[in-house]
Structure 1
Amino acid sequence: MNNVALPIESFGVSHRGCVRELNEDNYLVEPQTGLWAVADGMGGHDAGEVASASIVDHLATIGIASSAPDLRARFEDRLSRANAEIRGISESRGITIGSTFAALLVMDGRFACLWAGDSRVYLIRDAEISQISKDHTEVQELLDTGMLTEAEALTWPRRNVITQAVGVNDEVVIDFQQGEILPGDVFVLSTDGLTAHVTDAEIKAATVSATAQAACENLLEMVLARGGTDNVTVVLVKIGGGHVKQSPRPDLSKAEGRR
């Protein structure tokens, strides 16, 4: 594996949508540290926004890691701090709040995706789109066990009930996937406000030939034109070609699946 990183273009947008009064989503675009994230808060009023902001604010303090193990340790530390902060807010207010999240780490030719809840990470490669993350939802569990068909899942009344989120338990439970990046790869991170209105095929079509900014704006416009029933957040990361300065590679081998 070549020990140089590929150049990266990234952008993010977030909007409250056409129905909700508040935007409880947040996102982070930190190419200098190789970190991108989206977070979708839940709890009503301003509580959801507080939860998603806690995740993003803590992750924003990671800074430039001195080594791959340091990067991973910083990420897990910040997420744990956010989890503790959100739980403290829940206790002080006497309510339950939390937030889903999906994050992407890219360093030295490798990617790592980490998530909890139904915020998603897609990879577009060789003109094909695949969902890297797997939703932590009741409906996904029923699909996995064969109790629901794909068609039934679309209208199942509890299809939006999530089973994992930051801030709802003492310990954060996350899922994890990793792999090698290739020139031309496009990663799309989004909250469920995007996928409620836009298909995977439409995501691919909107991103393959556009800049990161134009693709984000096009997807947002598509959601709003279709009613925007939820907050929507999209972060796009496009992997270019050529060579740039060497950067450390995360040691991702110690985590496979949930931790």
Structure 2
Amino acid sequence: MPGFSFETAERTHVGCVRKLNEDRVLSRPEVGLWAVADGMGGHQAGDLASSMIVDALSSIELLGTGYAFLDEVQESVQRVNRTLVSHARLSRPGTVIGSTLVALLIYDGHFACLWAGDSRVYLLRDGRLNQITRDHSMVQELIDSGALQRADAPYYGRSNVITRAVGVNDRLALDIASGPIQEGDVFLLCSDGLTGMMDDDEIEAVLKARTADDAADHLLKVTLDRGAKDNVSLVLVHVEPSVDDTLRTARRTLLA
């Protein structure tokens, strides 16, 4: 990708309690597409949903414009949503075959995030970590309404209830956030298996001090050391200057 290159790392783990890993991760730096999908619905349902999402995104090719790229990602997710809803209707009543999704696209110096559910994207820029996504969850709705204080959220009894996901309803609304990228940016995509065990300040400290691979290993280790009640998945994307740009800068320095 002109102007930038990407150092990436991805990890997914079943955790310390669950027997099945229903999370899936995607890392395609060659086209500028990364994703985390956290399946829901139990054995052979959640992993089916998350796998279908990642498989669909794996087949997308780099398109001519950023808008076309984003449109194709959205339409691919909508096709999976329709398939999962139809499949659930053919199963036992009350069957849920769904998955959260958070995806990061980078094209021509800009990023776009799209999501449904409580998997998240964070951006570390200039030493400060900010959450780009906003959870689709009962907890977030209670916080927004003033009925629950953010400090009390980790102790709320239904913290795992999400209000939006791929495969749950006929009509899927995907939220989108976008902006420019810059050298030094660090994006973190993760499932709630990570954020349920580490707070934002802890995550920020890890991302500021380590390479992508080292940070990914450390985040996973801390989560597992704390008991990892859920599957844990994360993708890290470090934005760096392209090799050509680095060579040009070095050449100018030598000639100065």
Is 1:16–1:22's contact at 8 Å kept on the other side of the alignment?
A: yes
Answering whether residue 217 of structure 2 is matched by residue 220 of structure 1, we say no
**What is the CA–CA distance in structure 2 between the aligned matches of 1:5 and 1:83, rounded to whole Å?**
35
What do residues 95-123 of structure 1 show as CA deviations (whole Å, max 9, x unaligned)? 11210011101112111111110000000
TM-score by length of 1: 0.90
Write 1 or 2 for the structure with the bigger share of helix: 2
Contact 2:50 2:99 in 1 (8 A): yes
Calculate the aligned-residue CA RMSD, in Å. 1.5
In the aligned structure 1, how far is the partner of 2:41 from the partner of 2:4? 39
Structure 1 residue ranges (4+ consecutive) displaced by more than 6 angstroms after TM superposition:
none
Which residue pairs with 1:32 in the alignment? 30
Residue pair 2:2, 2:242 contacting (<8 A) in 1 also: no
Quick check: which has more Rg, 1 or 2?
Answer: 2
C-alpha contact (below 8 Å) 1:22/1:46 kept by paired residues: no
Unmatched runs of 5 consecutive residues or more in structure 1: 246-259
Secondary structure of the structure 1 residue equivalent to 2:209:
coil
* Deviation at residue 146 of structure 1 after TM alignment: 0.9
8 Å contact kept, 1:13–1:233: yes
Could you tell me how far 1:170 is from its partner in structure 2?
1.0
What count of residue pairs does the alignment treat as equivalent?
Answer: 243
Task: Give 1:235 deviation, angstroms.
Answer: 0.2
SS of match in other structure, 2:189: strand
Q: Aligned residue for 2:130?
A: 130
8 Å contact kept, 2:34–2:104: yes
TM-score (normalised: structure 2): 0.91
SS of the residue corresponding to residue 46 of structure 2 reads helix
Output the CA distance in 1 between the equivalents of 2:207 and 2:67: 33
Shift of 1:8: 1.0
Cα offsets for 1:101-158 (capped at 9, x unmatched): 1110111211111111000000001111111100000110111111111233221111
Write the distance in 1 (CA, Å) between the matches of 2:118 and 2:143: 14
Partner of 1:7, secondary structure, is strand
Could you tell me how far apart the structure 2 residues matched to 1:151 and 1:73 are? 37
Q: Do the aligned partners of 2:36 and 2:102 also contact (CA within 8 Å) in 1?
A: yes
* Larger displacement relative to structure 2 (116-125 or 167-176): 167-176
In the alignment, residue 120 of structure 1 is paired with which amino acid?
R
Alignment of 1:191-206 (within 5 A): 191-206=191-206
Measure, in 2, the Cα distance between the counterparts of 1:69 and 1:148: 38
Partners of 2:160 and 2:3 in 1: CA distance: 38
